[in-house]
């Protein structure tokens, strides 16, 4: 924890302004417990958790893109999600493979299903037209336009991906990207009818006494009897099976309450 603290303090020196907020011990029990493990292990913790000393960090570092100070993007820089496309273009244009063995294997597997046309990479479709391969930035624009553009219908992820293919576009993570976009769409989350979900909120009703349940029903209309009575209101206790019944000429709210 001390190394993390020192690293945080070193990073704060590069900031012109920052705010520090203290988290109470009751709301940060996990970190409080971890800080005490270096001193002594409580008996109840040793029974519930297995303590392991890590020789190296359990989280791998991720590479980040360089930000150009002059505000101009580097044309030779390729986004991580677009590496597959850059490898195929280089293979078709120059016949060269990337240095990484895994990427070489992927290029050899993908190459028969793609082709270059007028300087653009296309994917061969089974029984359909060539699909233009898109970069990450182009794919995000296409998803937004197809899902909530002028002629859009806020369709679900699978239908959205199929529409994009019919329009002649392709990229490997199309299905996953469409699903994430639909999940972030506010209108889809508000107005979508989930299967099995009621139209209104549930109102839970708790019984004060166990087995204190009864049912009521109205039977009729029967042929008029004495006093123009033709309806019967019935109530039954589910536990004792006791039945109460009374005849009425009409059924009103006050009569139901009085019954």
Same domain, residue pair 141 and 192: yes
Residue 254 domain boundaries? 214-258
Report residue 117 CA to chain centroid gap. Answer: 37
User: Considering the entire predicted model, what is its pTM?
Assistant: 0.44
Confidence check: pLDDT of 119 > 50: yes
Confidence check: pLDDT of 118 > 60: yes
pLDDT in tens, 176-226: 999 999 888 888 877 777 667 666 777 766 665 666 777 888 887 888 888
Q: Which of 48, 63, 81 is the last residue of a domain?
A: 48
Give me 126's structure tokens: 């089974």
User: Which DSSP helix (H) or strand (E) runs through 190?
Assistant: helix 186-191
% of the chain surpassing 70 pLDDT? 74
- pLDDT-derived band at 129 (thresholds 50, 70, 90) equals confident
Q: Distance (Å, rounded) from C-alpha 116 to C-alpha 125?
A: 14
Same domain, residue pair 151 and 188: yes
Same domain, residue pair 140 and 182: yes
Confidence check: pLDDT of 144 > 60: yes
Overall average pLDDT of the 69-97 stretch: 66
pLDDT in tens, 33-63: 666 665 655 565 555 556 666 677 666 666 5
- Give the per-residue pLDDT at 259: 67
Is residue 246 included in any domain, yes or no? yes
Residue-averaged pLDDT of the chain: 77
Is residue 53 included in any domain, yes or no? no
Overall average pLDDT of the 54-75 stretch: 56
Confidence check: pLDDT of 73 > 70: no
Is residue 17 included in any domain, yes or no? yes
Quick one: three-class SS letters along 44-88? HHHHHCCCCCCCCCCCCCCCCCCCCCCCCCCCCCCCHHHHHHHHH
Is residue 77 included in any domain, yes or no? no
Q: What are the CA-CA distances from residue 37 to residues 18, 21, 34, 41 (Å)?
A: 30, 24, 5, 5
Higher pLDDT, residue 66 or 7? 7
Same domain, residue pair 138 and 185: yes
Is residue 206 included in any domain, yes or no? no
8-state DSSP, 121:
E
Overall average pLDDT of the 115-130 stretch: 84
pLDDT in tens, 221-237: 888 888 888 888 888 88
Higher pLDDT, residue 65 or 228? 228
How many domains does the chain divide into?
3
Is residue 107 included in any domain, yes or no? no
Confidence check: pLDDT of 153 > 50: yes
- pLDDT-derived band at 74 (thresholds 50, 70, 90) equals very low
Q: Distance (Å, rounded) from C-alpha 122 to C-alpha 130?
A: 6
Is residue 61 included in any domain, yes or no? no
Is residue 208 included in any domain, yes or no? no
Q: What are the CA-CA distances from residue 8 to residues 63, 208, 210 (Å)?
A: 19, 55, 57
């Amino acid at each position: 924890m001390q190394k993390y603290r020192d690293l945080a303090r070193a990073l704060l020196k590069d900031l012109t302004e920052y705010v520090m907020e203290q988290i109470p011990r009751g709301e940060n029990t996990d970190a409080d417990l971890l800080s005490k493990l270096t001193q002594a292990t409580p008996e109840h913790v040793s029974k519930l958790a297995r303590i392991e000393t890590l020789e190296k960090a359990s989280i791998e570092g991720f590479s980040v893109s360089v930000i150009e100070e002059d505000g101009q993007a580097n044309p030779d820089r390729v986004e991580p999600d677009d590496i597959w496309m850059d490898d195929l273009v280089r293979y078709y244009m120059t016949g060269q493979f990337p240095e990484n063995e895994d990427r070489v294997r992927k290029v050899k597997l993908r190459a028969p299903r793609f082709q270059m046309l007028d300087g653009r990479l296309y994917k061969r479709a089974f029984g359909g037209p060539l699909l233009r391969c898109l970069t990450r930035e182009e794919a995000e624009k296409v998803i937004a336009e197809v899902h909530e553009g002028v002629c859009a219908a806020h369709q679900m992820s699978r239908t959205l991906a199929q529409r994009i293919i019919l329009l002649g576009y392709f990229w490997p993570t199309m299905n996953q990207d469409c699903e994430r976009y639909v999940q972030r769409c506010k209108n889809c989350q508000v107005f979508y009818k989930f299967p099995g979900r009621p139209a209104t909120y549930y109102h839970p009703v708790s019984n004060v006494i166990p087995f204190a349940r009864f049912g009521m029903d109205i039977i009729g209309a029967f042929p008029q009897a004495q006093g123009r009575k033709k309806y019967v209101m019935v109530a039954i206790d589910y536990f004792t099976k006791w039945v109460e019944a009374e005849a009425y000429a009409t059924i009103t709210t006050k009569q139901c309450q009085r019954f």
